[in-house]
Structure 1
Amino acid sequence: MFLHVRKISSLAATTAALVTTVPYCLAQEVQLPFGTVQMDGDLPARSAIPGLFSQLDFQQATQAYLWALPLVAYAQWQKESVDKFGARTGDLVVYTTWKDKLGILTANATTPYILGFAELDKSGPLVIDMPAGPTAGGVGDFWQRAIVDMGQTGPDKGRGGRYLIIPPGAQAPANTQGYYVARSETNSVLLGFRVLEQDPAKAKAIVSQIKVYRYSERAHPAAGRFLTPGGTDWSGTQPDGMEYWQRLWEIIQREPVNERDRFYMAMLANLGVEKGKPFEPNTLQRKALQQGAAAGKLFAETNTFAKRFANVRHWPDRHWEYALFIADPSQRVANFDQLWERTAWFYEAVTDTKGMISTTPGLGQAYLGAYTDSGDAWLDGGKNYHLHIAPNPPAKQFWSLTVYDTATRRFVENARQKSDVSSREQLQKNADGSVDLYFGPQAPAGKESNWVQTVAGKHWFTYFRLYGPTEAYFDKNWKMSDIQPGD
């Protein structure tokens, strides 16, 4: 037993007096955020042990949920592509319509997407022929780290080129002359492109020239397959509950373990989600997984829609934030990997390339997100709002504003089947060239062209995208108002 003794020298203490301080280890109970723990001397009471292990498992599940968000998002999308569209490795799916893009997390509604998945452990080194033209995109691994950009922000700089993607652990072919060579750290990869050409015929011609084939078949590459969702309902949103862990278990069976993730894999193994073993969690593990998924989602929403990163606001006196706050597509900075910045972005969005965080005026894209109105209240689909966009938005190519449902992080599903406005449309402009936009269940009279319909009972958020952001964006000389409640 530990006892702190202090001798008292005073007139009142004619006899020795002892003042004792009872230490933590002798407390009968300990109050912690998750409840009261009964103690037995310097140890938890035996009766408290099951509850402490239950809490430990819950905390592990919560942290594993947040860690796995980018991996589960791609695994979900890949599964939907196979099950709903019949896609095979190397196939490209062309998403053109509002309905086809509806399943993509925070999709851009203005330009078409050409996206597909490849499994390098099955195909071996993969070749991608990228045509010349105004395109943006690249290849990313399943942790959503950019492997290589293609198009305007890639090494071909929009002139077109031939790319060679090497599987993890594999040797590069002896002759790689004429290729842009990049290596993946995961077996599964996403191939994603956007065509920025405004003319539909020219855009279609560019898409038709993209080729994906095995390096081993380079002498006589087979014609690639282009698919379309064709209006099929599908969802790239990470599933809830046990389905989240099922999807995670499925993908970790196929992927190598990165050194940086081994402790998380230990947490998952403790919960019955283990590489090389069946997914058969017991009753206590299932309880922890279900509670961890529910709490993890709340933490993810908080971390995404109320970001607490320093300097996350583009203008300090406005509510517009950098939606994508990852410093480098590797997700790595000097002394750590950006776990929380990664978690914020990949809960609400998918993919990350160098072009998406470009700091070169006139090149790449910029993403500003608004999650609250000017009074810092959540944006409510049953209320009316107004946004004033100052003249001359700093975009070399165009700008767009898209509205998303916070529950799904996908387009707001409204009766109009239109969730965005952009500078490529015929918008009503003010005399000085500024634009007023409106959001709400009903359009203000005569303002339909400048209105995005929201849905009562649902919260929403928005991205303001700048394609080819100019110097006025980076030096912040151009400024936009907050979203204001009211017409």
Structure 2
Amino acid sequence: MTSSRKFLFCILPLCAALGGAMHAQAATPDLLLSTPATPDAVEKGMQADGYSLAISAYNWGYPLVRMERVAREYTKVPSPKPDTSYRAGLNQIGWATSLASPSAKDMPTANNDTYYMSAVLDLTEPYVLTVPDTHDRYYVVDVFNMWQELEHYVGRRTTGTKAGKFVLVPPGWKGELPKDAKRLDVSTKKIWLWGRIHVKQGEDVAPILALQKQFSVVPLSGKTYKDEMLPALPKTDDPLGFFTELAAALKDNPVKPADSALFAQFARIGLTDKGFSSDKLNPATRKGLEQGLKDAPYVAIASLASTSEVRNGWNWVTGLDSFGYNYPLRAMVAGPYLGGQGEHEAMYPIRFTDSKNQPLTGANQYEVKLASAPPVNAFWSLTMYDASDKMLVDNEISRYKVGTDTQGLKVAADGSITIPISHKKPQGENAANWLPAPEGGFYVLLRLYQPSEDVLSGKWQLPQLNKVN
């Protein structure tokens, strides 16, 4: 074979491959090269830019805005204070002294298993958190930064139930700390302590109320800060008012270095570290921004589906204490699931549909059959919520959940537990386990406190939810 023929023999396959690649490239048009820079195209582009940046900025910044709102709401104590309220003044601990009920509107998707605790701290200096010996009673105090990121757990699973002291140290602080306390560094100047202590149905609550009084937070210096209040958030009727709130929140909560490149993009819509100004916005950009702020919550809501797995019809979401760059999920949790914990502390499988993938409604009757009580290291409950407001459902027997502590819970001989779900009281052998539903749409949440590895791995399977009428 001549050298020229050898060359052709070798090059032909390459030419064929290149030709195929060029053909594939030609099949995908380069729209940037073919789009004319006409006034119409520029206007369309500016609107799209505003729209995409609004969605990005909202899902990134919503948790901060939400937490700043919560910091003010939860330090505004009503008079008289309801038993279900955990509000307290700034730098003070507030405890609910009654389990959440349909009338308790502070917390969406509230549990009916624990008394809640709240404390908003403005760390002008370190604060010492003191906890009592709860004698193995489940409790947890979550330490959230102002991005609704859970930075520390204090409680039964992580630090035990003996008495202890923990020093909450703000960023940049230097100095001596008590030797009998554990240091907990936080990343924002303000933080939110969100606590829970288990209450068994029907038990004498006097010892629990006594325990509550032994939790305290005090400044390291011992200084007394009297009648402190956080400054009011800016209010505006502008459809772009969210950005004004976000800019105000960023004054006290600097952008993290990891987010600096993302945040720099928002300068195109007038949001910088100096504030927010819409004065130079093009009308097309403004239009895109306004529509983007309307659609951005849908992106957060969709994150629950896109970042969770579905286990036998239940949305199974992990990573609530390690969001990483999943800003839409962080926004979603900061909204209707504010204060949610990581999977080792508690799991929250949530269910919106039946086994036929139809939305749950009180117009139907359903049944959940657990093969056994969930294998957890603390306790479990299945709780009912009204889909319209994410609150507990008022009902004739004042039952909002079925679980470990349900009095008269019927367990079959094989260890299974069947829970009827309906608006009207059911008949039959499992009527004692009835979980009342509203007339309209609802969802249920299965709380698994300190779940075992069998739960986390899926070895213990979640029950199906079947329509039975």
Under a length normalisation based on structure 2, what TM-score does the superposition of the two structures give? 0.77
Aligned to 1:462: 444
Aligned to 2:394: 414
Question: Cα deviation per residue 1:192-230 (whole Å; 9 max; x = unaligned)?
Answer: 211125451221111110111111117xx79999xxxxx
Q: 1:392 to 1:402 in 2, by over 3 A?
A: closer
Aligned to 1:357: 343
Q: 1:438 to 1:307 in 2, by over 3 A?
A: farther
Structure 2 contact 99–114 (Cα < 8 Å) conserved: no
Aligned residues: 414
Q: 1:297 to 1:152 in 2, by over 3 A?
A: same
Q: 1:370 to 1:22 in 2, by over 3 A?
A: closer
Matching residue's letter, 2:435? V
Q: 1:78 to 1:54 in 2, by over 3 A?
A: same
Q: How does 1:378-389 map to 2 (within 5 A)?
A: 378-389=359-370
Once the 2 structures are TM-superposed, how far is the Cα of residue 374 of structure 1 from its aligned partner? 1.0
Question: Cα deviation per residue 1:427-467 (whole Å; 9 max; x = unaligned)?
Answer: 23334342222333322236665333333443x32221122
CA distance in 1, matches of 2:372, 2:193: 36
CA distance in 2, matches of 1:419, 1:280: 47
Q: Which of these residues, 305, 313, 327, is aligned with residue 319 of structure 1?
A: 313
Aligned to 1:136: 140
Aligned to 1:232: none
CA distance in 2, matches of 1:272, 1:252: 14
Q: Which of these residues, 131, 152, 156, is aligned with residue 156 of structure 2?
A: 152
Q: 1:223 to 1:477 in 2, by over 3 A?
A: farther
CA distance in 2, matches of 1:55, 1:462: 38
Under a length normalisation based on structure 1, what TM-score does the superposition of the two structures give? 0.74
Once the 2 structures are TM-superposed, how far is the Cα of residue 283 of structure 1 from its aligned partner? 8.2
Structure 1 contact 144–352 (Cα < 8 Å) conserved: no
Match status 1:331 vs 2:323: yes
Structure 1 contact 151–159 (Cα < 8 Å) conserved: no
Aligned to 2:118: 115
Aligned to 2:84: none
Aligned to 2:352: 371
CA distance in 1, matches of 2:89, 2:181: 24
Which is worse superposed, 425-434 or 273-282? 273-282
Structure 1 contact 441–455 (Cα < 8 Å) conserved: yes
Question: Cα deviation per residue 1:151-186 (whole Å; 9 max; x = unaligned)?
Answer: 2133x3221211111112222x22441221122111
Q: 1:308 to 1:183 in 2, by over 3 A?
A: closer
Secondary structure, counterpart of 2:75 in structure 1: helix
Aligned to 1:307: 306
Q: How does 1:289-300 map to 2 (within 5 A)?
A: 289-300=289-300
Identity score, percent: 21
Unpaired runs of at least 5, structure 2? 1-25, 79-86, 229-237
Aligned to 2:70: 77
Secondary structure, counterpart of 1:181 in structure 2: strand
CA distance in 1, matches of 2:303, 2:41: 32
CA distance in 1, matches of 2:28, 2:372: 67
Aligned to 2:126: 125
Structure 1 contact 319–374 (Cα < 8 Å) conserved: yes
Matching residue's letter, 1:411? M
Question: Cα deviation per residue 1:239-294 (whole Å; 9 max; x = unaligned)?
Answer: x9756545434422321211122234334443344443366676846544432222
Matching residue's letter, 1:452? L
CA distance in 2, matches of 1:41, 1:480: 53
Matching residue's letter, 1:320? W
Matching residue's letter, 2:193? L
Structure 2 contact 50–287 (Cα < 8 Å) conserved: no
Unpaired runs of at least 5, structure 1? 1-20, 31-38, 226-239, 359-363
Q: 1:24 to 1:467 in 2, by over 3 A?
A: closer
Match status 1:94 vs 2:85: no
Q: Which of these residues, 445, 453, 472, is aligned with residue 436 of structure 2?
A: 453
